[in-house]
Amino acid sequence: MQAGNSGGKCKKRPGDRRHKTHPVEGTARAEAIDIRMGVFRQPAMQTPVLVLNASYEPINICGARRALVLVLKGVARTEEEQGTVLHAHRMILQMPSVIRLLEYRRIPHQTRALSRKNILLRDRNTCQYCQRVLTAADLTLDHVVPRCRGGQSTWENLVACCRDCNRRKGSQMLHELTDMRLLREPRPFTLHTSRHIMRMIGSADANWRKYLYFESEPAA
């Protein structure tokens, strides 16, 4: 699966033939379906889906669209359904709520890849200055210490930021601004952080809860 850019979680092994640059038949099919179905562009396709390892361990969250592609490619199977059905081109697809990878993936216990997507995920799509929750398209990344003042592109110096705040902050340091402060101290995004986020997102969903909380229960 192409989850490499979402961090260490679902790292591709070298030579993994499912890499998108070497599409196998399943990939091509899923992509063809993707193109045919305009429905794949609908916002419903962005509904978060919990991704479990083959061992049922929660490892990631992806959009429903990505989850459906993984299921169609035969990389994952649907464990829980949303209860909504997608009708498209004589196909009826159950929208997944939880999917499970068919092949076990070793998850390195290290920080996830530093990427825009992961920073937005860590910051829960929330502008770290004005606390507005926005879509990824309406957010940018802000260097807390501006690059022109020696700020690096690191987990500790990059935060999700709306365009207004980004413009307002400009190349100033936070201590030079009286009306802007960080919602929270930016930290690296570890598996621990992502579990925390998975729980935040999934706490209202019974389908997710049983997978997210089993590790805090007494061992059977």
| Segment near Zn ion (CB under 5 A); pick from 15-23, 58-66, 164-172, 200-208 | 164-172
Helix spans in the chain (H): 25-36, 64-73, 116-122, 163-169, 191-202, 206-212
Answer yes or no whether residue 189 interacts with Zn ion by CB under 5 A: no
Cβ closest to Zn ion, residue 70 vs residue 162: 162
For Zn ion, the binding residue among 54, 114, 130, 174 (CB under 5 A) is: 130
Minimal distance in Å, beta carbon 164 to Zn ion? 5
Q: How many CA atoms lie within 13 A of 18 on its CB side?
A: 20
144 binds Zn ion (CB under 5 A): no
Does residue 129 belong to the site contacting Zn ion (CB under 5 A)? yes
What residues between 36 and 95 interact with Zn ion by CB under 5 A?
none
Contact region with Zn ion (CB under 5 A), list: 87-95, 96-104, 154-162, 191-199: 154-162
Should residue 165 be labelled a site residue for Zn ion when binding is judged by CB under 5 A? Answer: yes
127 binds Zn ion (CB under 5 A): yes
Contact by Cβ (8 Å): 11, 110: no
Nearest to 99 by CA among 68, 137, 135, 130: 68
Q: How far is the CB of 159 from Zn ion (least distance, A)?
A: 10
CB-nearer residue toward Zn ion: 60 or 140: 140
Going by C-alpha positions, the residue among 136, 98, 143, 94 that lies closest to residue 118 is 136
Burial readout 76-104 (b: 16 or more C-beta within 10 A, e: otherwise): bebbbebeeebeeeeeebebbbbbbbeee
Q: Report the distance separating Cα 57 and Cα 211, nearest Å.
A: 7
- Least separation, in Å, of the C-beta of 180 and Zn ion? 9
Using the minimum distance from each CB to Zn ion, give the nearer residue, 80 or 142.
142
Stretch that binds Zn ion, among 44-52, 103-111, 148-156, 160-168 (CB under 5 A): 160-168
Tokens 């991704």 correspond to: 51
Residue 162 near Zn ion by CB under 5 A = yes
Q: Is 120 in the site for Zn ion (CB under 5 A)?
A: no
The burial class, CB within 10 Å (0-12 / 13-18 / 19+), for 207 is middle
130 vs 89: CA distance, rounded Å: 44
By CB under 5 A, name the binding residues for Zn ion: 127, 129-130, 162, 165
